Amino acid sequence: MGRLFGTDGVRGVANADLTAELALGLSVAAAHVLAEAGSFEGHRPTAVVGRDPRASGEFLEAAVVAGLASAGVDVLRVGVLPTPAVAHLTAALGADLGVMLSASHNAMPDNGIKFFARGGHKLADELEDRIETVYEQHRTGAPWDRPTGAGVGRIADYTEGFDQYVAHLLRVLPNRLDGLRIVLDEAHGAASGVSPAAFERAGAQVVTIGATPDGLNINDGCGSTHLELLRAAVIEHGADLGIAHDGDADRCLAVDHTGAEVDGDQILAVLALAMREAGTLRGDTVVATVMSNLGFKLAMEREGLSLVQTGVGDRYVLESMKEHGYALGGEQSGHVIVLDHATTGDGTLTGLLLAARVAATGRPLAELAGVMERLPQVLVNVKDVDKSRVATSAELKTAVTEAETALGSTGRVLLRPSGTEPLVRVMVEAADIEQARAVAGRLADAVKSALG
């Protein structure tokens, strides 16, 4: 069996790859593994379970809840809420386990399962590996040790989660947003209710698009992967800025008043300077991944800030932050972690903090984001190839060396298998966009040739 867990939980086409049986079995396995690890010792365990609005989340939620309760875990069902809200509530309610059902920015047919440990932190790789092992052992015949009678878990709806999460967001906001007009694109996703509520209660005049989820329209031509509607709405309404989330709202991208995109690197740069000014940027250091634009690194150096780079995936950013005590980290894709206030990327919190910086300085977002200049970057997704052989292909190594020689010191190349989709990502940065495109095209052809 290939590894079920990717960089962000278990993900696949709902009811094909990700079935009710798999969701139930993984939930039971997670309960047993955490019990073995001593997480439930001395008390009756509790889990928080939430989901995004996907239609498939309804049956998958039922399967997860059934699995946990059958393993003796009490379940608080919080309904449709963002991933960071489920992580926050897991910590705030003292729960032993959190489960979020979402495929984030993926198209509607997909879904996924993320597990959170006590405190709202993502499970360590070794725990995920153990869950897979235990699941497979019992899937092939070993019986579960099942509680009976009063030992089975109880299930309750926890309706206070919405207001509890919004109140948390407002508590950590450094200043109000009065006077700002902001367009929010909620991707017809999990933040369709909480994000507009938070921005309005913070004092902003809010225009909302993409906030009528029907279970089938999540991420459909809107949200952080499709900024066209947000750009048009910002210009139409004369807004100061626009904020876009993905389906589970752990991401935030923005556009300025002209409709120009402000990506995760630029957001990190703006927040880094704000936090340094407030004295909360510990070690004057920001953590980002190797996918961050070279312009971000140059901007941080110019501002006297240190940059630590990790592998791709917000879990690796978070691991580095926790290990070294850093306060801010994130990804170009818009996963931004402010560790003093969240245990995972939080798109609503990020958007609020970005807007708060605009309000506090009186400077337009375009000017604030100008702290860094994005070097031209081309990203090509190469599908239908064997991504497991990226690191071992001699043909690819030769192609990468040739590309790096062509770029010299003015650019860089990165090849990596996707952690959530069956493809290889080719990223090329160069001082000139045409050169970046040409090099990326040659590398994409090399990937197809070597791995196809």
Contacts of 28 (CB under 8 A, 6+ apart): 67, 68, 70, 71, 135, 138, 144
Q: Establish whether 104 is a catalytic residue.
A: yes
Taking a C-beta distance cutoff of 8 angstroms, is the pair 411, 436 a contact? yes
* Alpha helices (runs of H) in 18-76, residue ranges in sequence order: 20-36, 56-70
d(CA 226, CA 239): 18
**Any known ligand binding at 104?**
yes
Furthest CA-CA distance within the chain:
70
**Any known ligand binding at 250?**
yes
d(CA 213, CA 54): 8
Q: Closest Cα partner for 179 from 334, 46, 345, 356? A: 356
Taking a C-beta distance cutoff of 8 angstroms, is the pair 55, 62 a contact? no
Helix (H, G, I), strand (E, B) or coil at 238: coil
Spell out a b/e string for 260-299, using b for 16 or more CB atoms within 10 Å of the CB, else e.
Answer: ebbbbbbbbbbbbbbbbeeeebeeebbbbbebbbbbbbeb
CA angle at 322 for the pair 283 and 299, rounded to the nearest 5°? 40
CA angle at 73 for the pair 157 and 1, rounded to the nearest 5°? 110
Tokens of 277: 């000014």
Q: Find the catalytic residue in 104, 195, 292, 393.
A: 104
Q: Closest Cα partner for 10 from 97, 121, 108, 132? A: 132
Annotated binding site for Mg(2+): 104, 246, 248, 250
**Which are the catalytic amino acids?**
104
